[in-house]
A = this chain, B = another copy of it.
Amino acid sequence: MLSRLRDIFIGPPLPTQQSAHEKLNKIRALAAFSPDALSSIAYANQEIYLGLVVAGAAGLNMAWPIGLVIVGLLMIVSLSYFQTLHGYPSGGGSYVVARSNLGTYPGLVAGAALMIDYILNVAVSVTAGVAAIASAFPVLWPHKVTIALGLLVMITLANLRGLRETGTLMSIPVYLFLGTYLLMIAYGLIRLAIEGPSAAVAAPVAIQPLTTLLILHAFSTGCTALTGIESISNGVPSFRPPEARNAGRTLIAMAILMGILFVGSIGLTQFLGVVAGPQETILSALARCLLGSSPAYFIIQASTLLILAVAANTSFAGFPRVAAILAGDGFLPRQLTGLGDRLVFSNGILVLSVVSGILIVAFKGEPHALVPLFAIGAFLAFTLSQAGMVLHWWRERGRNWAVKAVINGVGAVATGSALLVVGVSKFMQGAWITVLFIPLLVFIFIQIRVHYKKVASELTLRGLPPSLKPAPPLRVVIPVSGVHRAMVDAVNFARSISTDVTAVYVELEPGAGEKMCATWQGWWPDVPMVVVPSPYRSIVGPLIKYLDDIDEEHNDGQLAAVILPEFIPAHWWQNLLHNQTAWLLKTALLYRHQRGRQRVIIDIPYHLKQG
């Protein structure tokens, strides 16, 4: 039943050979990797607007110059990454670049920053998408968190199905978004050319003076527009060959489209004097100003929701990939390296989904509350990656290395400065959370790696001679619950592997032991029975103590094996009707480990046919 449900939602398993076919052409790759970058205009515009509106009309007039600076930054960062993906065609992005050029620690910092950023991208995109659709239908505002979580579940299921199907599914909304927004911006420019700029209908009242700090604030939150640019460089291996060339062209196309959308929308907002009411995003206000409440307006809002949902998907492609690379290097649990049976990194997808779901609930579905946490990670990863590339070119000294190094150097300085601005101006509003979690994650990475190394050195056979001493003779103990058919198998098995077999009965009620001994001797007179009293009515404790005692007593290096006859009911729910003593005993024997004693646990299942 469970596996049938799984097949419906996630699809049947795919064999490993099919792996090679799961590659993307440029059209699909743009749809799979660009939505994060493209859609950021939704929340970046919103944050710039919210940052400036407190300074009234004078503040809002700063939107256009801030937008231009951010687009400049966008161009620098894109060019840097264009170089990166040619330098590292096997993918891995910031983490790989920083680690191989700057060393392990900067690499881990970049990896941690990137992972946090992927998680926040999901949370911010999903909640901003819900804000877009709730702007069109205000009745949805109170249900933001529920809708966001529903969306998250849908995206998770789509990703568990696999990358290619995801690509197909995601292409439509991406191109719908591009089409509708480009048309709207074109229409807006024509109207602007005919009618000329206009002041806001109801110019907002300034409640703060327009200070440099305020402008920096608005700029730093606007920088979230740049998040997501690096995802193509992480995903180079997903492109059809020639991978690097196709990825590079896709990156350039994406950066140009992004620039047009961003300057276009921010310029129109300012020069048409658009102002948003409560419970409405600024992009929704712009669309309503241009299109009224026509069907076109609703299509714009729906496509904003869709692109943001798909943007969350960028993380679902990127996060599991980075996690798998880190896990492969021993910095994260091994379970994250394995391809699931649909040829995707299922465990990474699930981790991402759960953590971002928690963030959505904790921040009550408010993108504005999540954004201050967001840009830190992206800009830290950008800076480390660009700095690493400078060293990379310098070491390689290939053709035109100096030009390449300068381009990446400018990128590193630009993103580093933006990082400082963001970190300082948004520290108290939530950036501190990210600042705290990045070193914490790095610390965990290192601890995990230390653990794996210690385990490997403990387990290695290097240095052991191939001729090994034979296993010591075996002492077998059978805990007895009663005389029944399962016991027959257990005693027979015990006698077939050892000549030293003892039955042990834990006596819960005084006197029961004597009775049991008599019955036992009737069936197996050659197997001695020991009765262990249990004044506190526990079975496990006295039994473990008995085993410790006889080990102590003999102290002969003999291995002790415990044979557990275990009933398996015909149906799982029938387990509720039986004491789980065998299970408790197994767990205790496995984990209550004393003084280097090794105990073999032999489980002899007896399958009940009915009942």
Interface residues of A (CB under 8 A from B): 13-17, 333-335, 338-341, 448, 450-455, 458-461, 464, 466, 468, 470-471, 474, 483-486, 488-489, 492-493, 495-497, 508-510, 522-523, 535-538, 559, 566-569, 572, 574, 576-579, 586, 589-591, 593, 596, 598-611
Contact = CB atoms under 8 A, between A and B. Distances in A.
Contact of A567 (B455, B589, B601): B455
8 contacts: A16-B509, A16-B537, A333-B578, A453-B611, A461-B484, A470-B492, A471-B496, A601-B605
Contact of A492 (B460, B471, B497): B471
B601 A603 contact: yes
Contacts of A602: 600-603
A572 B591 CA distance: 9
B454 A611 contact: yes
Given A568-B590, A601-B605, 11 more contacts: A13-B536, A16-B536, A452-B611, A468-B492, A471-B489, A471-B493, A497-B497, A572-B591, A596-B607, A598-B604, A602-B602
A611 B537 contact: no
A586 B572 contact: no
B334 A577 contact: yes
Contact of A486 (B448, B450, B459, B586): B459
A510 to B, nearest CB: 7
Nearest to A604: B600
Contact of A609 (B458, B493, B605): B458
Contacts of A566: 590
Contact of A451 (B464, B483, B577): B577
A451 to B, nearest CB: 5
Nearest to A590: B605
A474 B483 CA distance: 24
A484 B451 CA distance: 16
Nearest to A14: B536
Nearest to A341: B536
A470 B455 contact: no
Contacts of A603: 586, 590, 600-603
Given A471-B495, A590-B603, A489 B598 contact: yes
Contacts of A608: 454-455, 458
A611 B459 CA distance: 11
Contacts of A536: 13-16, 341
A485 B459 contact: yes
Given A15-B535, A590-B566, A598-B607, A460 B485 contact: yes
Nearest to A448: B577
Query: What are the nearest 5 A-B pairs in CB distance?
Result: A454-B611, A471-B492, A459-B484, A15-B535, A13-B536
Contacts of A574: 451
Contacts of A15: 535-536
A568 B340 CA distance: 25
Contacts of A466: 522-523
A454 B610 contact: yes
Nearest to A563: B600
Given A335-B579, A590-B605, A611-B451, A497 B485 contact: no
A16 to B, nearest CB: 6
Contacts of A578: 333-334
B458 A610 contact: yes
A221 to B, nearest CB: 36
Contacts of A601: 602-605
A568 B586 contact: no
Nearest to A485: B459
A535 B599 contact: no
Listed residue (A17, A340, A484, A603) with the most chain B CB atoms within 10 angstroms of its CB: A603
A322 to B, nearest CB: 18
Contacts of A538: 13, 341
A537 B576 contact: no
A479 to B, nearest CB: 15
Contacts of A448: 577
A592 to B, nearest CB: 10
Contact of A497 (B13, B474, B522): B474
Nearest to A454: B611
Contacts of A454: 608, 610-611
Contact of A16 (B488, B510, B596, B610): B510
Contacts of A493: 471, 559, 600
A559 B338 CA distance: 34
A551 B577 CA distance: 32
B470 A535 contact: no
